[in-house]
Amino acid sequence: MKKNRLPLLLASGVAVLLISGGVAAYFQVQRHLLRGRATMSAQLVPEDALVTASISTDIEKWQKLQKYGTPETKAALKKQLTQLKGKLLKANGYNYEEDIQPWLGETVMIAYLASGALTAEEDTEQETPLIKQPDLIVLPIEDPVQAKQLLTKANSKKQLLERTYKGIQIRETKKNQSQQFSAAVLGRFFVVTKNSTITEQVIDTYTGEPSVAETPGYTKALSQIQASKPFAQLYLNMPTFSATAATNSGRSLSPENIAAAEPKQGIATTVTLESKGINFRSISWLKPDSNLSHRVENRNSSLVKRLPADTLLMLSGGNLEQLWRNYLQGAESNLLAPIPPETLTEGLKGTLDLDWEEDLLPWMGGEFLLGIIPAYDDVLTLPDNSQFPQLGAGVVFMVLSRNRFRAEKSFQKLDEVMATRYQFLVEETELEGKPIVNWKSPLGGISATHGWLEKDVAFLTFGAPITSSFFPQPEALLTQTPLFKAVVPTKPNPNNGQFFLNFEGTINSSNLNMPELPPKPQMLAQAINAIGVTAAVSDERTTRFDILVEFKTAATPSTSPKPKQSE
């Protein structure tokens, strides 16, 4: 199998091995062989590692990866690869194709440790890379004989520090303050780290301390997301992630307590390269001692088919009440939660005088959908005294009601609050012969509409006027557009929820008055057409979700449908 020139994440590690002359150590360390053919690189990575990634070295896969993106993202990646190659390989008299490729195995594992945060030793003056350099790299030796030939190219002028730890030889190099690497050979693997402390952690793991491979549920989870010809496999340690994120979160619990309270054990994904983008076949699982359990309830959404073809964002779910209950459980430890639950409920009570648990959730606990739909220009004319910018889109919320009578009472209360507290003009009217209620702001720029679709589906829009684009039925469906079909995965099936985001119409567009991203994230966003996600509950302890990111290529035209006129 062919292997490419060393990718960005791997080049530094291999170069260090070459510089240090660590190949020789392989032939000196015979008493610490890894057990059996089933041994994985993950057995060398400490159990509390934050992130691990096993990455293919197949040249055909890397060539396919390099076809994605814009000229700017391709140029940025090429620049970093060239700089890294010149600094760490060519400058030391080595060539990847001749010196490394012949003995390197088919996959290389990298890892980021919680202890490997930015230190003073790292070069903060250089340009920030697209991807941070890993804390450790595990390189399998496929051909020891060819690896030994590297010794003939060893540079005798290099100053190396050699020492032993637990009987294993470690070789370290310090070229300047911004470069420090440490390397050791463990069985049939080279291990390269950013400093000696991490190398000692790896050796501790090699000699008996718990590894990532021993994480509860790790092996079983990875077996459920196998794919043909994967490009990479990634693992995120959720307790470690929560503790790391908690350091600067301002939460009341300590990082240690947050890690203990985190119900999830891990998230893993298998990455494959498709014709127009990257697919992530993913899984999330709970800790063995977690009190949280998932409700196995998967029903493909019927509400998605009520959105028009030009919809920019869609989020659907099968059970709003269950989603809320899960959100409440362990909310203090969930650093991914953008807003604490009490902030949401108190804000709703304070602004709209509605109790989420008493007034709303009892009747809207079933299937739900959130969407963003663009508005047509000729309905967005603002009065001269408007204090709001022109809105390019509106938000729609749909929910399958479990009690229409209670829902009507909530809407009546909401109408009264908007009219008396905020002086909105509340008007009952009809659209296509069906009753709806419109709100109009006295300041202009913002409007809202609520009403009923068939089968007890309630809806509420807010922002620009978009109701006629989907009420009572859209002229063309989002689900039938080529972009939606291409990016929203069809599996798992049945599912418990889906997500769709058209980058061209949102993040990469100026029509929505969104704040600009920083230069580097904006450059990366410009390379993406759309993202789709499909999720399902596998069992009480496991959830499955697939993600597809469609990238631009040189010949990729804009795939955003033109918005139809809305009322």
Which of 482, 496, 471, 477 shows the shortest CA–CA distance to 546? 496
CA distance 388 to 464: 11
Please state whether the peptide bond connecting residue 341 to the residue before it is cis, i.e. omega within 30 degrees of 0: no
Tell whether 380 and 476 lie within a shared domain. Answer: yes
Tell whether 300 and 239 lie within a shared domain. Answer: no
Sort strands 277-286 and 264-273 into parallel, antiparallel or unpaired: antiparallel
Tell whether 413 and 532 lie within a shared domain. Answer: yes
Residue 404 lies in a domain: yes
Pick 546 or 289 by higher pLDDT.
546
Tell whether 146 and 227 lie within a shared domain. Answer: no
Tell whether 204 and 230 lie within a shared domain. Answer: no
Task: Find the domain containing 248 and state its range.
Answer: 215-286
Which of 471, 450, 556, 470 shows the shortest CA–CA distance to 508? 556
Which of 547, 542, 549, 548 shows the shortest CA–CA distance to 222? 542
Judged against a pLDDT cut of 70, whether residue 239 lies above it is answered with yes
* Residue 295, Ramachandran bin (φ over 0: left; ψ between -120 and 50: alpha; else beta): beta
Exposure b/e, 207-230, CB count within 10 A at least 16 = b: eeeebbbebebbeebbeebeeeeb
Report DSSP letters for 461-528, one per residue.
Answer: EEES--GGGTSS--SSBGGGSHHHHHHS---SSS-SEEEEEETTTTTT-STT-PPPPPHHHHHHHTTE
Tell whether 320 and 262 lie within a shared domain. Answer: no
For tokens 């530094």, the residue is: 12
Residue 563 lies in a domain: no
CA distance 486 to 324: 30
Which of 282, 291, 175, 258 shows the shortest CA–CA distance to 534? 282
Which of 347, 391, 399 shows the shortest CA–CA distance to 370? 399
**Using CB atoms within 10 A of its CB, is residue 407 exposed (0-12), middle (13-18) or buried (19+)?**
buried
Which of 268, 302, 242 shows the shortest CA–CA distance to 498? 302
Judged against a pLDDT cut of 70, whether residue 101 lies above it is answered with yes
pLDDT (mean) for 336-344:
78
Question: Could you tell me the pLDDT band of residue 455, with boundaries at 50, 70 and 90?
Answer: confident
Which of 52, 530, 37, 457 shows the shortest CA–CA distance to 278? 530
Count of the separate structural domains present in the chain: 3
Name the H helices within 264-367: 320-328, 341-352
Residue 185, SS3 per DSSP: strand
CA distance 544 to 491: 9
Judged against a pLDDT cut of 50, whether residue 521 lies above it is answered with yes
Dump pLDDT digits (tens) for 467-517. Answer: 999 999 999 999 999 999 999 999 999 999 999 999 988 988 877 777 888
Residue 352, SS3 per DSSP: helix
Q: Where a domain ends, among 195, 211, 227?
A: 211
Rg of the Cα atoms in the chain:
28
Tell whether 31 and 87 lie within a shared domain. Answer: yes
Name, of 83-87, 283-287, 290-294, the range with top average pLDDT. 283-287
Dump pLDDT digits (tens) for 28-76. Answer: 333 333 333 334 689 999 999 999 999 999 989 988 988 899 999 888 8
Q: Does the model's pTM come out above 0.75?
A: yes
pLDDT score of 86? 66
Tell whether 375 and 521 lie within a shared domain. Answer: yes
pLDDT score of 74? 85
Exposure b/e, 234-258, CB count within 10 A at least 16 = b: bbbbbbbbbbbebeeeebeeebebb
Tell whether 314 and 446 lie within a shared domain. Answer: yes
Judged against a pLDDT cut of 90, whether residue 279 lies above it is answered with yes
**Using CB atoms within 10 A of its CB, is residue 539 exposed (0-12), middle (13-18) or buried (19+)?**
exposed
Residue 226 lies in a domain: yes
Residue 2 lies in a domain: no
Residue 564 lies in a domain: no
Quick one: CA torsion of 375, 378, 384, 385, rounded to 10 degrees? -30
pLDDT score of 150? 60
Tell whether 74 and 182 lie within a shared domain. Answer: yes
Tell whether 198 and 223 lie within a shared domain. Answer: no
pLDDT score of 549? 96
Residue 317 lies in a domain: yes
Tell whether 275 and 308 lie within a shared domain. Answer: no
Q: Where a domain ends, among 211, 239, 261?
A: 211
Q: Where a domain ends, among 269, 286, 303?
A: 286
